[in-house]
Structures are given as structure tokens and as C-alpha cells.
Amino acid sequence: MPLALQSLRRAALPLGLLAVVAARPVAHRLTSPPSPLAGSWVLVAAERIGADGVRRSDYGATPRGRLLVDAQGRYAAQIYSDERPRFASGNKARGTPEEYAATVIGMSAHYGTCQVDEAGGTLRFRIEQSAYRNWEGTEQVRQYVLRGDTLSYQVPASAAGDGSIAISVWRRLEAAEGEE
């Protein structure tokens, strides 16, 4: 066998093994069961239980939001208060301190991955990016309940920083369902 062919065969074996090893995570993802949260969700309620035990509405009387989760558990969540003011200037670069504060406090948006522990009743959010920068790169474990197409979970008191516990309730949208 010519020397060049022998060298090519020796190089091909490690490259072939590398291709098999590199493809394994993709194959695993394809055979993993889909996330039980996969789908599009609309916010039904956003409430907060204060350190005093009193339950109050969070994000105003009619909060709006979407939660999107793909089969692998990648998610994007957005919650908005309907009470956020419009900027009087009509230019978001020229808002007042009050308008900026109400905008930041009146919304929550983040994305990353969400792992479901059905036996333990917890969701593990690995937050990649967030409108609230302090959450970026963090993991939050949240107690959850999934009944049919209704999901509720609690944001730990430590995440809010004031001893309160936020509760979000979502309803899964049907594939053909539109805006509400």
C-alpha cells in the first residue's frame, strides 16, 4: 500500500471517531422526550404574596405576557403591566425619570433554558439574558404545578429581594389560537 494512502487511513480513523462523538449530543437531543412545557403560553395572572402574607396583583390589574418553550426547553418569557405609561415626548430616549422607572418596574423579560423536574415539582430556569441584568447567568429553581394546559409557578422570595413571592399563571395556547 502506498505511503500516502496509509497516512490517509491513519488520519481518517480519528476524524471518523471525532465525527461520531461530536454528533452524539445532537442525536441525544433528537431522542430526548420533548419538554412537557413545549408550546406557546399566555399569561392568565401575575400576583405577589408579600412578606406579610397578603396576596396582591403584580404588574397591575390586567397584566399581559407570553411564554414560549420549545421541545428542548429553550424559553423566552415576557410579562408587561398594562399600566405602563406612554412617554409624553413620544421618544423613548427622552423619557422622564418617572416614565423610565415605570417602564422597568412594569415589565419582566428573560430567556434561556428551562429544565422540568416532574418528580420534584420544580422548574430550573437557566437565565441567559434578562431585562433585569442581575438575573443574567443565574439559575432559579421554582416550584410549579402543571394541570392540563394551565401552568403556575412561584418565583423565589430571594429573586424579588423584598421577601415577597411572585406567582405566574399561564395557559397554553392552541396551535390555531390567536391574540386575545
* Residues 111, 68: Cα–Cα separation, whole Å: 9
pLDDT for res 8? 39
β strands within the chain, DSSP E = 39-49, 55-57, 64-69, 74-80, 107-117, 122-130, 139-147, 150-155, 165-172
Distance of alpha carbon 159 from alpha carbon 99, whole angstroms: 24
Question: Rounded to the nearest 5 degrees, what angle is found at the Cα of 108, between the Cα atoms of 102 and 111?
Answer: 150
Q: Domain 34-172 falls in which CATH fold? A: Lipocalin (2.40.128)
CA pair distance 169, 147, nearest whole angstrom: 11
pLDDT, tens digit, for every residue of 120-167?
A: 999 999 999 999 999 999 999 999 999 999 999 998 776 667 889 999
- How far is Cα 48 from Cα 62, in angstroms, rounded to an integer? 14
Quote the CA–CA distance of 126 and 46 in Å, as a whole number.
21
**Higher pLDDT pick, 167 / 180:** 167
> What are the pLDDT digits (tens) for 67-120?
999 999 999 999 999 999 999 999 999 999 999 999 999 999 999 999 999 999
| Domain range annotation of the chain | 1-32, 34-172
Instruction: Report the alpha-carbon distance of residue 145 to residue 142 in Å, rounded.
Output: 10
| For residues 53-78, average pLDDT | 96
